[in-house]
Homo-oligomer: A and B are copies of this chain.
């Protein structure tokens, strides 16, 4: 697949919960981390998603919030993947931050240079990639 989403993670569906409008799909990533995607019932039916399916999770980098220190706060976002900052690439205004998760998968986020500085974020830091379940687009093999 050739798509522009910076994050394209492969995994296996481990749980499907159907609500009134949306379906919450839990995906076990290769590396052992878990990701949650929220899609509409119509999409879930049209894709025919079921437990055990191999799926692709697409998440654009601007959807990722990087958290270095929760400071005693708990967040509403369903996805809070912990890892180690592997790379910080600075542009004119924004930086791309790549977080390597425990299992080997990586998540890239685009945040402002100001945020990098105000958090004092450096390569090697422990940090979390935080994003809402609704930010994830699911792909299945036809």
Binding site for B on A (CB under 8 A): 1-6, 19-22, 24, 37-40, 42-44, 46-47, 56, 58, 60-63, 65-78, 89, 91-94, 96-97, 109-112, 114-116, 118-121, 130, 132-134, 137-142
Find the residue from A6, A21, A44, A94 having the highest chain B CB count within 10 A.
A94
Chain B positions within 8 Å of A91 at CB level: 91-94
- The answer to whether A119 touches B76, judged by C-beta atoms less than 8 angstroms apart, is no
Smallest beta-carbon distance A122→chain B, Å: 12
- The answer to whether A75 touches B58, judged by C-beta atoms less than 8 angstroms apart, is yes
> Can you list 8 contacts pairing A with B, beta carbon distance less than 8 Å?
A1-B67, A1-B71, A5-B65, A5-B115, A72-B141, A74-B141, A75-B138, A91-B94
- The answer to whether B137 touches A4, judged by C-beta atoms less than 8 angstroms apart, is no
Smallest beta-carbon distance A113→chain B, Å: 9
With the chains together, A91 CA to B119 CA distance in Å? Answer: 21
Given A40-B78, A75-B137, A76-B137, decide whether A61 and B142 contact each other with a Cβ distance below 8 A: no
- The answer to whether A66 touches B4, judged by C-beta atoms less than 8 angstroms apart, is yes
Smallest beta-carbon distance A72→chain B, Å: 5
With the chains together, A92 CA to B130 CA distance in Å? Answer: 25
Chain B positions within 8 Å of A39 at CB level: 76
- The answer to whether A4 touches B67, judged by C-beta atoms less than 8 angstroms apart, is yes
Option from B43, B61, B62, B111 in Cβ contact (under 8 Å) with A76: B43
